[in-house]
Every structure is written in structure tokens, then in C-alpha cells.
Structure 1
Amino acid sequence: MNDLFSSFQASSKEEWIAILKKELKGESIDTLNKLNKVEEITFPSYFHQEDQKVHFSDPGLAPYTRGIQAKNNDWTIATAFRISEPKETNTEIIAALMAGTDHLILEATNADPIDFHLLLNEVGLSFIHTTFRAKSIEQVNQFLVFVKEAPALIEYADNDELLKTNLKAYLDKNPNLKLYHVDASLVQQAGGTTWQELSIALAEGHEILVKQMDSGIDCDRAAAAIHFTFGIGSKYFFELAKIRAFRTCWSQIVSAYSPKHTCSLAATITARSGFLNISLKDPYTNLLRQTTEAMSAVLGGIQHLNIQPYDWYSANSNTPFTRRMATNISLLLKEESYLQIVLDPAGGSYALDSLTETIAERAWSSFQWIERNGTISNPEVRKALTAEIEEKAAMRISEIADKTEKRIGINIFPNPEQIAANWIELPSCWNNMKPLILEQTL
């Protein structure tokens, strides 16, 4: 078996292309090059070893392009809950944990104090992850006192306010705490591209990193306190490559500050499904979309997966059911497909390696422009980036309108069953941009 590969004769690129041309039966080989006009990236659907420009390190090794884990590809199954009445929400939480959830996302609906003892009664926080979407600094303090040293992630809209608040003691006591959050999924929900999403995440993450170090925190601890959330779109290979590209670029940023530990270069990433491609009129098609989106994210090597109920922003929601269906997507990928076992299943694909490199280069170029022009805090920079994202959103709307891009249940094959379901208002996206939901554009 040691001589397995030498038993087969390797084909040159010329020989391989000759075979492809023969199979195309007269069609141009250029038809295999797929241009994504919104992304402005051409993705060749064939590659040969001779085309490989870069060789990425193994999984678990810097710059972590192929993942930060060295033993498996496991991820947490994150389920979101809006905190309304703590006792009722606790009942929902317990049911979700019994159904396979191992990561709670708790979303405050207002800035009032929360009874975490009642909300999380009989929940073993040390055995799971918990993300808290807070509406006030007081709620953040409440949660951090309650959670103690259990794995915890904070999502708060104003990182500057967190930085100005003396929360350093919590980071000292809890090595499992991710205090600062960069929500790049808001760029995708507004209609942005993969590389726009990454460049803004890099810029915001870099700013938080520098501000922490300016306050006296060393690079290793500062990097460890940051976590990132990315959206998951419908372009399977682009989404997979996006996650890999971000880890490469983030590693490059952190390494510039000479951390003591290599693991500080590794980014903690949550992948979150959005609503750009969701249809309330054809609900069950959403489960198929979310399954492929989830698969692209986990093959990209994320740490946390949050498939949101497809009717999370519906006036006629049935979230106990849709929340369970969302959980089942992760369970299917784990318990039936065993994707948590195989390290970097996409490894060895020359085409995906090339796409990863292309997205990383586009994102890095955009990030450098942001830094040269006054960082992500500069209002003029934010204005320019907003205009660029709005341009991409308009292109997406045009493609749906003329059916260049086809979405079952949205612009082709409408659901014959008439379903009365209406969207409620979604939160604003990055820089207060309007959320893009393609179904609403028709």
C-alpha cells in the first residue's frame, strides 16, 4: 500500500485539458470558468496540480487557513432564544438542550435587569457555551457575575463602551470569555460580498485589538478576547473559502504584534444563517438552503454554528418547531454525516485553495485601503464602504428580478400552496444599512 500513488501514472495539465475538451464535445473550455459578477471573481471549475500557487499548512497550524483544530472538526450547535418571561424561556431552553443544543444564544429584548438564576435554572453552564446578546452594560455585568468561569461570549453593539468599562477582572478570571464581538454577518445581510464582509471584520477586529493593547493588555490576551460572526450565503464554495480566507488574514494581523503564543493567531468564528435568501411563502425550501449553507460553514472549519429559525422575523412564526428544525440540521451533519470527525474535508482541492487565496487577496486589499484612509472609525471610510455594499445589493436585486440568479420559491417555481406570512422589521445592518431580503424585492 505504501506504493499506491506510484502505481498510477500522473497526467500532465495538457493531457488533462485534452480530455476535458473531448468530453465537452465541441463546447469551449471557457464554459468551465464561472464568473460571479457580484463578487467580481472568476472561479475555474477545473484545476491541475501545476496551477497550485500556494501550499497551506496542516489543520491546527498557523496561519490556520485549514482550521484551528488538529484533532477533529467539531462545532457547537447554537440555538437562539429571545428573553421575554424568564421562567417560560427556561422551559424552552431545557427542551432545546434535551434535543441536542449545546450552545445557548440569549437575546435580551430590552435593557431591563434579567433574573439569570430563573432564566438558567438547572442549566449546567460549564458543559456548554453561552452567548449573551446584551442591551446594556448593566446586563453584561449581571451575566458575567452569574456565568463565572463557564465558556461565554458577549455580543454587545458598542465595543467602545465595553472597552471604556472596567471589565478586565472578568477576563482575568475567565479564560473562556470572549468579551468583544465583531458581527460581520450584518455586512452580508445588507447584500455585501464575501471580501467586503471579511475586510470590515478585519478592520473592526484590528481596531478592538489595538485599543485593548493601548489600555495595557498584552497581544495574546487581547486577541483571545475577540470573536467573530459571519453570515452564510448561498454560494457554497465561496462561503467555504471565505472562512478559510479570513483565518489567513486575521493570523497575519495578529502576528504583526509579535504574540508570545502561536494559538493567539487563531480566530474564533461563529457562522450564522441570515435571511437574504429566505422565503416565508415557501417555508420548507428554507431547510434545504440552510442545510447547504451550514455544510459550507462547517467544512470551512467554524467553531460555532447558529442556524436561525427561518421564521425568526415572521409575524406568523412557529419558532418551537422551526428552532427544532434548525437544530436538526446540525445533528444531521454530525450524527448522520460525521462531518465533525474529518479534519478539513476540503483540503487538497486546488480550485478551493485558489478561491481561498483570491478572496483573501481581495479582502486584504480592501482592509489596507480602510487602514490607509483613517481606519474603520472614519465616517468617510464608512460612507464609502456603505455605498459599495449598496451597489452590490442592487446587483443582487437585479439578478433576482431578471432571473439571472434563480431561487426556488422566490423567483421560480412558486409554492402552489398559498401561505399567509409576513415579515416583521429586521434590525439594521452594518452602519445602519437596510437589511436585504430578496423575497421582499419582487
Structure 2
Amino acid sequence: MSIQMKNIQFPSASYDEWKEQAIKALKGKPFQSLFTETIEGVTLEPLYTQEMLMDKLGDNLEKQISTIRSLKDSAGFKISQQVYGETSSQFFTLLQESVERGNDCVTIHSRVPFKWDEENLTLLAKYLAENTFKLFIENEKDPILNVFNKINAPSVKGFIISHQGNMLSNFENVRSISINTIPYHHDGASVIEELAISLALAAKYAEQEGSYEKMISKSFVSFAIDTQFFLEIAKLRAFKVLWKAFSKAYKVDKPAAIPVMAETSLRSYTKADPYVNLLRAGNEAFAALIGGADYFTVHPHDCLTKPTEKSIRIARNVSLVLKEESFVENVLDASGGSYFIETLTADYAEKAWELFLEIEKAGGIDAYTQSGQLQARLDRLFESRLDAVQTRKDSLIGTNIYANPADEVPAETNPQFAQIKRLAIPFEKLRVNYKEFKPRIAILTYGKLKDFKPRADFVDGFFATVGIVPEKSGEITNIEAAKDWMEQANYDYVVIAAKDEDTKLLLPSILELQPKGILVDVAGKYKQEQEEWLEKGLNGFIYAGQNIVEKLTEVLESLKGVQQ
């Protein structure tokens, strides 16, 4: 039987044959609905084939793959866990624990609740001398830099992330030229901007150092990895393709690999439902592992408020589990040869190189920033991201969809991450406002359960995003009963959920009542009746594709106006 199975061959199908079957399955929907336009302006196709890939890259495919595989700085995926602590005693206890339990790169942000005094610096120097490290510093006068006055071993290895260039010339293996794209990522940048900016920053530092060789010996690049799994894999791979092209412009045909530091993006992290951040972190860490990052930091799921010893341990274990159980680390370029990812890698590299040349033509990254062009570009992208989340074109699980009404938004904020522009912030603010105001909200469910349930469930989910569970009238099957319910209703706001024909029959009678002190909305669009119903006193409509934040803000303001 097993021999027969080995000899079985399945007939191959052409793209056109697949397309024909796909069109049948769509049942009238256009085939183009299967194509997805990303924020980067790249169109994701529903199917990628070997022929499509070869048509795009041809002989360059082998060059792309070999470039990516040759520019991996380290053999593995190093865990770079950030150390937290409310006191110096707790900080160093957790630091020791992290080293003992698999932390490959001691990661420290200089902004801690305690002072970097002589005693703490002396203790820190011991760890930095014995372990690879990554330090986030505020500026060249940061007190934590005094630790290097206490380190006698010039062979120490580490990385310093700052806005300044090279600062530690006496330590050959400490890289302090940080090509850091993470602030741009959190400001709204897409993959294209992140990649182009990484090259523009490298060009700036090469000029400052006086040569490409001096720059590369002290440099490393940092990326934040977001939730778009395959796109983030392609981002890290595309960087290596671009790095070779960038090096070639400096007459370097065989560039040295540059260390790639990465971390979970906080742009999609949420405060109200922090455990979903664990899912995001696992997805992002796995993308970074497959994409070829050298060092990776998983931010604890509650890092926006106050990480605990448990959440820090869980964050570290995310990377440990991926390393030990996926075996991806044992494979060189695990996604290499994928028709989809290789195509996406090439698309990103092409578009990012064009933007890099545009930045250089404008005078470099500093001139491009000072002209306002960069910020305008980032602002447009961030607004586009916000709109996609607020209209549910993009899902932010636990926030704009599948939200748990019982979730609370912690008042506490971790100052280290307070300034990050997160997509969930508008929802979190609304949730706090609704909790303070405590409006009484209900759904008038008219007709049979099977008829009103889809819209009633939609309205339920709509208000779950701000922590409200509307009460429901239950089945009401005639207009008089509906009018009686409205007259006796002790609510501030009522949404009518029914199928179209029932709503058109019921609503005129409800509006004739002019329920005192009650705002009335309807679930659905009703374009033809819209103007007439609004004139007769309807407050508005709730429907799919609507901007949730704008609608819920309007409802809250209207309710406050009625109560005043």
C-alpha cells in the first residue's frame, strides 16, 4: 500500500484552470475581489506560481536567494529580552534570572525607576562584561554610559541604540551606530518607508564616518515586526537584497552582513485586552525567526502598563519555544523559494530603492525630514491605518472586533512607551468615556429571531468595542407591542434591529411617538429612506463599513446633550 502511495501522481493544473474554478466558487463576485492592495501599494494575488515568479525575476531569483542567505550575520536567532525592575534589587534579580533562563542578549532601557549610581553601575558592568548586550539610551550624556568606565575588557560585545552616531571608539565590538527604523514604524511607516529609511540612515552615517567601511563596522539595523506575517518575513529578506545594492554603490561587491535587531511592534498592542498581545507577539516573533533576524525582543503583553515577573518570563519563553520546537533556526532561509514570498521580497526591494533614491535626491534623510515631506508621508499612512481599523477593513482583535465588554482599560501607563501612536488608543479612550457616562442602551429586536439576529449581533459587537452590553427587547412581532415597549422603555438610546421590510414598516410608527429623551438609531443603511427618517427625528444609522469611533463619539455627545 505504501509503495502504491509513493507512485501516485496528481495531475498539474494551470493558472487558467484554477482561475476558472475560483470564478465558479465566487458565485457572481468578481475575480478581482481576490486581489488585495496593501498599504505599500503592492497587490497581493490570490495564487502565485513558479511561472509567475520566473517571469518576474528570471535569472535574478538565484541571485536574490543567495544574497539573502549570505548576509545573515549570526548562525541563530538570539533572544534579546528586556530587563525590568521597580527597584535596583528587583532589576538585578530579574537580570540574573533572565541570563540563567536563556536570554542571549541582555537588553536594558536606561529609563528605569532607580538611579544609575556607582553601586548599580559596578554591578551592571559585571553583566555587560560577560554577556552580549543591547542598551537603549536617551543621549550621549545618559548616566548608564558611565558603566563603560568600569569595564576593562575591550572584547565586550554589544549594541547601543540612540539618536547619535558612533560613541564608543575604545570598544571594538560595541556597535553604536544605530540604523533604527522603529520610531518611523510607530509613526505610521509602511514596509517601503522602513526599508528606504534604513538605507538613507546608513548613507548619512557613512558620510559622517568618512567611509562605508567605518560605518559598517559599527552599525546595526533595528526593525519592529508587525502582525502581517508574510509581509514582515519579506521585509527582513528585502532588507538584505537592498543592503547588497546599497553596498555596491560604495564599490563593495561582497558586503559584510550587518546585524539585524528586531522586536515586536507596539503599534498594534492594546491595553484593554492585553492577553491578545501574546498572540500578536508569537506571530511577530515567528515572522522574524523565518525572516532571518539575528536578535529579537518580545515585549511583555502588559508592557504598556506595568510588566510583571510572570509576563516577562512568558515573553522570553515565546522565543524559546519557537527556537526549540519549530526547528526553523536549523534551516537557512526557511521561506526561500516560496513563490509568494520571493515575489513580495522583490516588490519591496524595488519600491524601497525608488524611495531611497528620492530621499537622496532631496538631500538625504535630514533634508527630507526637515522639508516636512517625510512627516507628511508618515501622517498619511498612519491616518490610513487608523481609518482601516476604525471601519473594520483591518481587524484589531479584541479591540474593533471580538471585543470583550468586561475588559477594563488600566489607568497606569509605562512611560517608556507612552508616546507610541497605537491604533487602539481611540477605542481605549472611548471605552473609558462610556464607562464614566454609563448610558442605558437597548436593542429593539423586531420580528422572528432568525430575521433580526444578524443585525442584533452586529450591534452587540459594535458596542462591545466600548465595553457596553445592550439589553434586548426579545421577539416583538407587531407594531403595537413595539410602541408599548418604547413608551415603557427606561433607556437613553435604542437601536432597532430587524430585516429591511420590517424596519420600513415599524420605524414610521416609532418616530410618531417621538420618545422623550430617547435617541433612536436603526441597524442598516437604508439610503432611500435616510433623509425622510432623519427629518422625522431618527438619530442615525449603524452599519458595516461605518467608522466605529466617529459614530460612537457622536452617540455619546448626543446622549450628553439630551441629558443636559
The equivalent residue for 1:48 is 49
The CA RMSD over aligned residues, in Å, is 3.1
Residue 152 (1) aligns with residue 158 (2): yes
- Checking the alignment, whether the CA contact within 8 Å between 1:78 and 1:105 is kept in structure 2 is yes
Moved more, 371-380 or 239-248: 371-380
2:425 corresponds to which residue? 440
Are 1:190 and 2:187 counterparts?
A: yes
SS of the residue 2:246 aligns to: helix
1:319 maps to which of 308, 320, 332:
308
Aligned mate of 1:293, from 269, 284, 291: 284
Compared CA separation, residues 349 and 187, structure 1 to 2 (3 A): same
1:92 — aligned with what? 94
- How many angstroms does 1:204 deviate by? 0.6
Q: Secondary structure at the match of 2:372?
A: helix
Moved more, 16-25 or 86-95: 16-25
Amino acid at match of 1:276: R
Distance in 1 separating the partners of 2:244 and 2:424: 37
> Using a 3 Å threshold, how does the CA distance of structure 1 residues 48 and 294 change in structure 2: closer, same or farther?
same
Please say if 1:283 is aligned against 2:274.
yes
- Please give the residue correspondences for 1:170-189 in structure 2 after superposition, counting only pairs within 5 Å: 170-171=171-172, 174=173, 177-189=174-186
Mapping of residues 12-411 of structure 1, within 5 Å = 12-21=14-23, 24=26, 27-36=29-38, 38-52=39-53, 53-54=56-57, 55-57=60-62, 61-62=66-67, 64=68, 66=69, 68-69=71-72, 74-82=76-84, 85-109=87-111, 115-119=120-124, 121=126, 123=127, 125-126=129-130, 128-137=131-140, 139-140=144-145, 142-143=147-148, 146=151, 148-159=154-165, 162=166, 167-171=168-172, 174=173, 177-212=174-209, 214=210, 219-259=212-252, 262-264=254-256, 266-314=257-305, 317-378=306-367, 383-411=372-400
In the alignment, the residues of structure 2 paired with residue 319 and residue 144 of structure 1 have an alpha-carbon distance, to the nearest angstrom, of 32
Displacement after TM superposition at 1:424 (Å): 2.5
The code of the aligned residue for 1:325 comes to: I
Contact 1:223 1:254 in 2 (8 A): no
Supply the distance in 2 between the matched residues of 1:5 and 1:220 (Cα, whole angstroms).
55
Aligned partners of 1:423 and 1:248: how far apart in 2?
42
- C-alpha change, 1:24 and 1:342, in structure 2 (3 Å) is farther
**d(CA) in 2 for partners of 1:135 and 1:57?**
42
**Contact 1:87/1:119 (CA < 8 Å) preserved in 2?**
no
**Could you tell me the percent identity over the aligned residues?**
24
Identify unmatched segments of 5+ residues in structure 1: none
Matched positions, count: 413
Match status 1:419 vs 2:408:
yes
Q: 337-346 or 140-149, which moves further after superposition?
A: 140-149
Deviations 1:402-430 (A, max 9, x none): 1111211111121243334136376699x
Could you say if the C-alpha distance between residues 48 and 98 of structure 1 is closer, same or farther in structure 2, counting changes exceeding 3 Å? same
Which segment drifts farther, 281-290 or 20-29?
Answer: 20-29
Larger radius of gyration: 2
Comparing 6-15 and 350-359, the one that deviates more: 6-15
Cα distance in structure 2, aligned partners of 1:105 and 1:9? 53
CA separation in 2, counterparts of 1:324 and 1:428?
A: 20
> 2:128 and 2:336 mapped to 1: Cα distance?
36
Farther-moved stretch of structure 1 (390-399 vs 378-387): 378-387
Give the C-alpha shift of residue 27 in structure 1.
Answer: 4.7
Gaps of 5+ in 2: 1-5, 428-564
Secondary structure of 1:170's aligned partner: coil
For normalisation by structure 1, the TM-score amounts to: 0.84
What is the Cα deviation at residue 178 of structure 1?
Answer: 1.6
Aligned counterparts of 1:327 and 1:88: Cα–Cα separation in 2 = 17
Contact in 1 for aligned 2:161/2:177 (Cα 8 Å): yes
Give 1:100 deviation, angstroms: 1.9
* Alpha-carbon distance, 1:318 to partner: 3.3
Q: Which amino acid aligns with 1:252?
A: A
User: How many Å separate the matches in 2 of 1:321 and 1:169?
Assistant: 38
SS in 2 for 1:81: coil
Using the TM superposition, give the Cα deviation of residue 7 of structure 1 relative to its aligned residue in structure 2, in angstroms.
Answer: 7.3
Match of 2:170, SS state, is helix
Return closer, same or farther for 1:193/1:71 CA change in 2, 3 Å cut-off: closer
Contact 1:67 1:300 in 2 (8 A): no
1:20 and 1:284 mapped to 2: Cα distance?
Answer: 37
For residue 404 of structure 1, what is the amino acid of its counterpart? K
Judge which range, 267-276 or 379-388, deviates more. 379-388
TM superposition shift of 1:58: 7.5
Q: Alpha carbons of 1:170 and 1:35: their partners in 2 closer, same or farther (altered >3 Å)?
A: same
How far residue 256 of structure 1 moved from its aligned partner, in angstroms, is 1.9
Aligned-pair distance for 1:393? 0.6
Q: Is the 8 A contact 1:374 1:381 kept in 2?
A: no
Q: Deviations over 1:50-103 (max 9, x none)?
A: 1112244479943x2x4634995x211111125775443211101112222111
Q: Distance in 1 between matches of 2:376 and 2:330?
A: 42
Residues 185-235 of structure 1, C-alpha deviations (whole Å, 9 max, x = no match): 1111112111111111110112112321x2xxx533431311111111111
